[in-house]
Amino acid sequence: MALLTGKKACVLGVANRWSIATAIAKALHAHGASLILTYEGDRTRGDVEKLAQELGDAPTTVADVASDDSIAALGSFVEQRFGKLDTLVHSLAFARREELAGKYFATSRSGFSLALDISAYSLVALCARLQPLFAERASVMDMTYLGSVRAVRNYNVMGVAKAALESSVRYLAEDLGELGGVRVNAISAGPIKTASARAVGDFSKILSDVAAKAPLRRNAVAEDVAGAAVFLASDLSSAVTGQVLYVDAGYNILGIV
């Protein structure tokens, strides 16, 4: 059964075929949603446009979330193509590779600011621009990770950025809920093999530890996250907002591991 027929979604964060955002875009399309896909720049444009062709020639546009002008242009593009927006998927984050290894206290001032800007503030800026375009009972979602609430070795400043992102989800849920019933939630995915994940030191060890200890004795995969995204985009989650939905094979429930 198609859960998203007639819905219009904008997905940010597609980088390549391994991206969580790619799996989400495919799942939304499979359930009947019309899509806009964004790319950061020339480096990812080819992969995004190839995916767009696979998904019914979905329109694509550049979106540099570090630029207010680029976010404003994205809003104009969405308004021109869709008029109203039912779903916004924020599946992007960034920290310099050198900030994702070693001691957290060695984080540079510029690296801290950059990680928080791209990984957390960008959601706030996007909602500010797109809020007038959100349809009644629209759904906003972003991607987070357990490192927001636990000290995960080498995750460092990204964990702090994800904590800020999760807090932003709650504040945005309060603000936007009274403006047409817009819902805002986060999906906390377990460790998944993506290009960005490889920047985290000892990532392969994190994968093996979670697979060995999680209640389901496996790692989540991108398609698991995509299923949760379909739920949050659909009317099945009409009373769910301000929440962090864990999709990690149950690893987050464990005590001392």
Distance in angstroms (rounded) separating the CA atoms of residues 37 and 31: 16
Cα Dmax for the chain? 51
pLDDT for position 255: 84
Q: Where does residue 71 fall: left (phi above 0), alpha (psi -120 to 50 degrees), or beta otherwise?
A: alpha
DSSP SS3 for 108: coil
Residue located via tokens 């992102």 = 165
Token reading at 233? 């985009």
Domain that holds residue 60: 8-249
Other C-beta atoms closer than 10 Å to the C-beta of 250 total: 17
Tell me, yes or no, whether 256 lies in a domain: no
Residues 6+ apart with CB under 8 A from 142: 89, 90, 91, 123, 165, 169, 186, 187
pLDDT for position 204: 83
pLDDT for position 228: 99
| HSE value, Cβ hemisphere, 13 Å, CA-based, for 203 | 16
Other C-beta atoms closer than 10 Å to the C-beta of 254 total: 11
Catalytic position from the list 104, 121, 155, 251: 155
Active site residue 145: yes
Tell me, yes or no, whether 225 lies in a domain: yes
Tell me, yes or no, whether 3 lies in a domain: no
Residues 6+ apart with CB under 8 A from 151: 159
Tell me, yes or no, whether 255 lies in a domain: no
pLDDT digits (tens, 9 = 90+) for 193-232: 876 766 676 778 888 999 999 999 999 999 999 999 999 9
Tell me, yes or no, whether 15 lies in a domain: yes
Tell me, yes or no, whether 149 lies in a domain: yes
For residue 144, list its beta bridge partners. 188
pLDDT for position 35: 99
CATH code, domain carrying 108: 3.40.50.720
pLDDT for position 199: 66
pLDDT digits (tens, 9 = 90+) for 187-204: 999 999 876 766 676 778
Tell me, yes or no, whether 221 lies in a domain: yes
**For the chain, what is the domain count?**
1
Residues 9, 85: contact at Cβ < 8 Å?
Answer: yes
Between the CA of residue 207 and those of 157, 217, 219, 221, what are the distances in Å?
A: 20, 11, 7, 11
pLDDT for position 193: 80
Distance in angstroms (rounded) separating the CA atoms of residues 133 and 129: 8
Active site residue 171: no
Other C-beta atoms closer than 10 Å to the C-beta of 57 total: 10
Residues of the chain with pLDDT under 70: 195, 197-199, 201, 256-257
Token reading at 121? 């503030």
Catalytic position from the list 39, 104, 121, 145: 145
Q: Which helix (H) or strand (E) holds 112?
A: helix 109-116
pLDDT for position 256: 66
Tell me, yes or no, whether 1 lies in a domain: no
